[in-house]
Amino acid sequence: MAAAAPEVAVETEGAVGIVAINRPAALNALSISVMDALLEALGGFDRDPAIRAMVLAGLPRAFAAGADIGEMKHIADSKGADKALSLHLARWDKIALLKKPVVAAVSGFALGGGCELAMACDLIVASETAVFGQPEVQIGVMAGAGGTQRLTKIIGQALSMEMNLTGRRLTAREALSFGLVNRVVPVESYLVEAKKLAQLIAAQPPLAVQAAKASVRAAVDLKSSEGLAFERRLFFSLFDTRDQKEGMKAFAEKRKPVWSGQ
């Protein structure tokens, strides 16, 4: 008998690391084992100097239809939830804390923990069939991995309330109009477009990219004055890099820079 396909597939294209969830029978539900495999793969790319950007993809029918309800339905009370799920929820934060940029390639369902996973990434390329939602209220709970926090900061309170309180889903076009995704493309090309965006990022000087990512992220968590101070520190730190010397020299010499990543 052939070995079962792994739940998470990993490959590279040049300096881009691609991680794809592959659990079609459960619409890519994010079980502990799937999230562990995702973190191992993404964490490995984050530490690999040959990789400069990542793509996190699902399947055309589902990016991920949420955390695995089968793993939660037996939990008896809040203490049990804390014990069983605290570490699991931390996996979403660990993805948000990766140093290198991650482009989510989202098609089909991105619901509950799936929507939260897409938001833990840095950019989202959506197919025309993508559907975003926080439907946890419909199974008696609420979002627990950023669906009331990240979503509200991205799309605002009115719509976030509606999504979290009624389970309203957003189409890809709506998600674009509310600033949740970067672009909407035909389903046939969402993965290719996500890879192209990742390649474009990977072609930039990596230390500057990582500093810019950290600084944009800080805009969400820090108050304005702290965020500006953090930005300034990172900006100055880039003058310690070879890529700053190369970038500015190449500009003056009217040639393309060659990035060393140092």
Q: Judged by CB under 6 A, how many residues of this single chain contact ligand HXC?
A: 21
- The answer to whether residue 75 forms part of the interface with ligand HXC (CB under 6 A) is no
Chain positions 29 to 48 lying near ligand HXC, rule: CB under 6 A, are: 29
- The distance of closest approach from Cβ of residue 144 to ligand HXC in the complex, given in angstroms and rounded to an integer, is 4
Residues 61 and 27: beta-carbon distance below 8 Å:
yes
- The correct pick among 17, 58, 101, 135 for binding ligand HXC (CB under 6 A) is 135
- The distance of closest approach from Cβ of residue 150 to ligand HXC in the complex, given in angstroms and rounded to an integer, is 12
Which tokens in the block code for residue 152? 């509200």
Annotation marks residue 174 as catalytic = no
- The correct pick among 27, 34, 54, 124 for binding ligand HXC (CB under 6 A) is 27
Residues 258 and 245: beta-carbon distance below 8 Å:
no
Is 130 strand, coil or helix? coil
Q: How many CB atoms lie within 10 A of CB 82?
A: 11
Per-residue x/- marks for ligand HXC, 188-217, CB under 6 A? ------------------------------
Annotation marks residue 113 as catalytic = yes
Measuring CA to CA, which residue among 89, 93, 91, 117 is closest to residue 105?
A: 117
Q: What's the CA gap between 106 and 126, in Å, rounded?
A: 5
Which one is catalytic: 17, 41, 57, 116? 116
Cα distances (Å, whole numbers) of residue 29 to 23, 59, 70: 7, 11, 9
Annotation marks residue 71 as catalytic = no
Chain positions 140 to 169 lying near ligand HXC, rule: CB under 6 A, are: 144-145
- φ, ψ for residue 233 (rounded to 5)? -60, -45
- The answer to whether residue 243 forms part of the interface with ligand HXC (CB under 6 A) is no
Q: What's the CA gap between 171 and 182, in Å, rounded?
A: 14
Chain positions 80 to 119 lying near ligand HXC, rule: CB under 6 A, are: 85, 88-89, 109, 111-113
Which one is catalytic: 136, 144, 198, 202? 136
Cα distances (Å, whole numbers) of residue 106 to 210, 218, 241: 23, 24, 35
Catalytic sites, residue numbers = 67, 113, 116, 136
User: Rule CB under 6 A: which residues touch ligand HXC?
Assistant: 26-27, 29, 65-70, 85, 88-89, 109, 111-113, 135-136, 139, 144-145
